[in-house]
Amino acid sequence: MKQLSEYRLPFTYNTHYAYGVGRIRALETRLLRRHDISRLVGAEDTDAFLRILGETDYGETVPSLSDPDHFEDFLSGHMASTLNLIVHLSKNPEVTDLLKMRSDYYNLKILLKGSISGRDMEFFLSPSGQVPPAVLLRAIRDEDVGHLPGYLRQTIQTIEGFSPSDEIEPQSLDVLVDKAMFSHFLSVVMKVGMMFLWGWLEREIDLLNIKTFVRLLWSQQAPELLKTNLCDGGSLAVEFYRMLQEEPLDGLPQRFGQTRYARLLDEGIASLQTKGSFARLEQLCDGFLITYLGRARLTTFGLEPLMAYVLIKEYEIKAIRTIFTCKWNHLPPESIQERLPDVYL
């Protein structure tokens, strides 16, 4: 996989998105702020949480939530509406379709794991993809993938010897699907020449590899799994991680000192060694990506603000889901805050 510096991606100044960007600028003012998140975190229980959420941009649909057990459907529906709006405003479906395909790849992971484990995983499927979950479910169940879109069919075919009885580790499935997804997305973004989206993908790959690498070092599994568990396409080549496989954890921040991830690793690894938890590292990685996506506000015209908005919306919904789940399980506010990106605190 080539690196970003090996391509000359054309800069485009596209005024065709003036209306779409105007709509997004208005919607950005309705995103949850730190004060909103703080109130949700401080809610006494799930009823209070839903009441506070009803005072935000989610208020139009919260009243229809008659049963808290349906909260995930509520969030999925809100995300699907956001995606549909972006697709409607977009004049480049080749790019915006990637947002829906993310859900397809996610659903594929879920169904492949369910097929191997024999568990019913339908509850976890997202309705936001290009392919209806029922269609993908039937294809996996019947082992008949011929009618699926090429990007899903090819991904399944790369999982060597796939069948319901195979003993494939869930993490290995995740990596195989992620590799296929990132390769697909990078090829599309390179073709259309969108530097901002390339930068997002590059950072997402880097952070996924960093989290995987730290987990492998922590569990002392690095040598045997490094060859297969890292994704190509980031700013840091896979070979970079292989050279560090004998490095002690507390030495990693210095070895990453010339990269944009040094501070993130310094804080994340310090917390891991102190608390034995990856929560801080996950928190920092999410915050890093959200901050990068926020740069799209500097773009006056173009597709970038539309794409950034829906990706930031994903993080917002993830935060809402996290808070609700913690409230449902009666966790204290400080435990909830540990699970949220710094940008929301």
- Which DSSP string corresponds to 212-235? HHHHHHHTT-HHHHHHHHS-SSSS
Please report whether residue 167 resides in a domain: yes
* Range(s) of the domain holding residue 184: 92-192
**Cα–Cα distance for residue pair 78/42, rounded to 1 Å:** 23
Listed in sequence order, the DSSP H helices in 250-278 are 252-255, 262-275
The one-letter amino acid code at 248 reads P
Please report whether residue 126 resides in a domain: yes
Q: For position 158, what pLDDT does the model report?
A: 84
Tokens linked to 6: 């090996």
Tokens linked to 294: 């926020």
Q: 309-312: which pairs have CB atoms within 8 A and are 24 or more residues apart?
A: 309/24, 309/27, 309/28, 309/82, 309/86, 310/82, 310/83, 310/86, 310/99, 311/99, 311/200, 312/31
Please report whether residue 168 resides in a domain: yes
Please report whether residue 109 resides in a domain: yes
Q: For position 306, what pLDDT does the model report?
A: 92
**Cα–Cα distance for residue pair 137/48, rounded to 1 Å:** 37
**Cα–Cα distance for residue pair 38/3, rounded to 1 Å:** 40
Q: Taking the model in full, what pTM does it have?
A: 0.88
Q: 183-191: which pairs have CB atoms within 8 A and are 24 or more residues apart?
A: 183/1, 183/232, 183/233, 184/101, 184/151, 185/98, 185/101, 186/1, 186/233, 188/94, 188/95, 188/98, 189/95, 189/98, 190/7, 190/9
* 311, 294 contact by CB (below 8 A): no
Q: For position 222, what pLDDT does the model report?
A: 60
Which tens digit of pLDDT belongs to each residue from 220-231? 876 667 778 899
**Cα–Cα distance for residue pair 74/127, rounded to 1 Å:** 11
CATH number, domain at 170? Answer: 1.20.1690
Please report whether residue 27 resides in a domain: no
The one-letter amino acid code at 315 reads Y
Please report whether residue 147 resides in a domain: yes
Q: For position 164, what pLDDT does the model report?
A: 45
The count of structural domains within the chain is: 1
Please report whether residue 336 resides in a domain: no
CA distances to 62, 72, 73, 133, 137 from 123, rounded to whole Å, are 20, 9, 9, 10, 12
Please report whether residue 345 resides in a domain: no
Residues of the chain with pLDDT under 50: 2, 4-12, 162-165
* 304, 296 contact by CB (below 8 A): yes
